[in-house]
């Protein structure tokens, strides 16, 4: 053996940015302005937090939960808890009380950190979580029998903590799936998996993060570890800009302009909202420093990505991943290969509309119902399987053998892979529409419809039909002050789709349900239509 076997521990990289460029800022938007502290202060406070938790009795492997917005204290938890050998369990603030109670009890959280504005959501369920020994409240005067104030909790502890030498396979993070089918399932990340994901995420061909960046992570830090951005930004020494609970499009635009943000990350609905504001008031905001935004959670419309490039000069990087993939698995850049330098802009956008190329170290394949591998020809469709060093191979205390095949994760996505190895997501298996024995992709229809001027949001779901099994219907949110008709939407669909693929109905609505992670909730849409006793037009 000729090389050192240094364990891949988060404690070896999360303080790097603070050491190399200590005066770089962490900025958090607040009601009265912005809170600012340096990377050095953040790292020192993370050390204090680790000391306080250790004194309280938190040991290696213990779960410590956060019920918080994107802010500087949450970042301190991201740094302290993994480095001390404990497990950061980020609680999704949008889950129902019953789901939260189940998750906290299943994880056996010992301590919960909560922002004072979120405490009213947490307090009613605490009586049903007997394993919780302490609740730490940030900026609050909450008088709860087992609570403490965050600042009082960490004060007087040393600004240096002796990070332990632990196994690189030791757990460091715990996230639960949104539970769209059955109980939420826990995915336990290890130091090794997150260390490797952090390195890969910073690559030029991935998110292209560097120490020069001012990063605004809009994706919630409770959603798949904020896509890993807080870890990568801490390692590199980026300026980190956090919106806390102030995430309206206008607030985000002002924050990004004021803090000279160069890269941001969020779901498509965020970028659609930002686009709507800028289309009317672009001259009011200076986003000249913004060079790229990462978009994930669901497929962004190609028309939106093209608008950002043509109007703002901002590249939209599409990413695909899951809680189970820690989370990034594929990324699509405007020009992703040297051989693409000569591609026309039309072909570049054709590629960027795909889910992307696998990140280095990951493998993808598609299989039929008998696990036979399908060709990568961009035509054959199959269930997507993925494996690699930051991919889940089992759920936390919850065996789900049907979710894994040999050493592969069964994603539940129906997909194609083309001859250039681009992943093309056709649909979630449960969202595909089978009509007359043929499959219809709801995603393809949605992306085409949302490109039509006047459409703010679109969701396509199946409805039962006695002859055809299922038929598609589309829910539409129109832009304000538009007179877009159902006929014009269907006529637009005829441009790209066969007659049998065209939705049977257009339903205009004021809002479309979303999941706790900001995705369109098609399960809720189907349930609502059933409760409303909806009937397809040709069956009325």
Q: Which residues are known to be catalytic?
A: 177, 324, 434, 439
- Residue 354, Cα to own-chain centre: how many angstroms? 17
Radius of gyration for the alpha carbons in the chain, expressed in angstroms and rounded: 23
3-class DSSP state for residue 188? strand
Residue 275: CB atoms within 10 A of its CB come to: 17
Q: What residues contact residue 138 under an 8 Å CB cut-off, 6+ apart?
A: 68, 73, 113, 114, 115, 116, 150
Cα(195)–Cα(390) distance, rounded to whole angstroms? 9
Cα(26)–Cα(234) distance, rounded to whole angstroms? 10
DSSP code, position 340: G
Q: What residues contact residue 434 under an 8 Å CB cut-off, 6+ apart?
A: 440, 462, 469, 470
Angle at 323 between CA 275 and CA 422, to 5 degrees: 65
Q: What residues contact residue 30 under an 8 Å CB cut-off, 6+ apart?
A: 244
Helix axes 229-236, 191-201, angle to 10 degrees: 70
Is residue 433 within 8 A of residue 442, CB to CB? The reply is yes
Q: Given phi > 0 = left and psi -120 to 50 = alpha, else beta, which region is 397?
A: left
- Burial label for 407, CB within 10 Å (0-12, 13-18, 19+), is exposed
């Amino acid at each position: 053996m000729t090389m050192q076997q240094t364990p891949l521990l988060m404690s070896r990289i999360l303080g790097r940015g603070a050491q190399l460029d200590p005066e770089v800022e962490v900025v958090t938007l607040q009601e009265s302005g912005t809170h600012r502290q340096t990377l050095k202060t953040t790292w020192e406070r993370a050390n204090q937090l680790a000391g306080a938790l250790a004194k309280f009795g938190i040991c290696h492997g213990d779960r410590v939960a956060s019920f918080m917005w994107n802010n500087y204290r949450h970042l301190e938890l991201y740094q302290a808890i993994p480095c001390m050998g404990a497990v950061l369990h980020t609680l999704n603030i949008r889950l129902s009380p019953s789901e939260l109670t189940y998750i906290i009890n299943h994880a056996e959280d010992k301590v919960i950190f909560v922002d004072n504005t979120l405490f009213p959501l947490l307090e009613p369920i605490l009586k049903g979580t007997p394993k919780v020994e302490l609740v730490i409240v940030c900026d609050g005067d909450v008088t709860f029998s087992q609570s403490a104030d965050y600042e009082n909790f960490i004060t007087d502890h040393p600004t240096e903590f002796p990070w332990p030498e632990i196994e690189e396979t030791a757990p460091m993070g715990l996230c639960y799936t949104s539970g769209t089918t059955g109980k939420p399932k826990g995915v336990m990340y290890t130091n090794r998996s997150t260390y490797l994901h952090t390195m890969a995420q910073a690559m030029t061909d991935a998110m292209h993060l560097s120490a020069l960046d001012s990063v605004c992570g809009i994706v919630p830090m409770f959603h798949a570890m904020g896509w890993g951005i807080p870890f990568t930004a801490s390692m590199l020494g980026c300026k980190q800009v956090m919106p806390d609970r102030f995430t309206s499009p206008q607030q985000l635009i002002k924050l990004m302009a004021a803090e000279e943000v160069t890269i941001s990350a969020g779901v498509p609905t965020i970028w659609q909202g930002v686009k709507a504001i800028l289309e009317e008031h672009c001259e009011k905001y200076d986003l000249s420093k913004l060079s790229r935004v990462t978009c994930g959670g669901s497929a962004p419309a190609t028309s939106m990505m093209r608008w950002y490039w043509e109007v703002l000069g901002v590249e939209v990087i599409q990413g695909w991943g899951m809680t189970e993939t820690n989370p990034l698995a594929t990324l699509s850049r405007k020009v992703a290969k040297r051989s693409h330098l000569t591609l026309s802009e039309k072909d570049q956008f054709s590629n960027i509309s795909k889910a992307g190329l696998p990140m280095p170290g990951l493998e993808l394949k598609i299989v039929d119902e008998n696990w036979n591998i399908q060709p990568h020809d961009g035509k054959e469709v199959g269930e997507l399987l993925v494996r690699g060093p930051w991919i889940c191979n089992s759920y936390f205390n919850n065996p789900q053998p049907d979710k894994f095949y040999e050493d592969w994760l069964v994603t539940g996505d129906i997909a194609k892979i083309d001859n250039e190895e681009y992943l093309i997501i056709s649909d979630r298996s449960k969202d595909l529409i089978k009509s007359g024995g043929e499959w219809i992709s709801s995603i393809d229809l949605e992306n085409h419809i949302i490109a039509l001027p006047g459409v703010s949001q679109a969701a396509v779901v199946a409805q039962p039909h006695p002859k055809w099994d299922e038929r598609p219907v589309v829910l539409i949110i129109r832009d304000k002050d538009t007179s877009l008709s159902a006929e014009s939407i269907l006529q637009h669909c005829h441009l790209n789709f066969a007659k049998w693929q065209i939705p049977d109905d257009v339903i205009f609505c004021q809002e479309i349900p979303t999941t706790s992670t900001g995705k369109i909730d098609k399960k809720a849409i189907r349930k609502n239509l059933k409760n409303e006793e909806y009937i397809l037009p040709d069956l009325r």
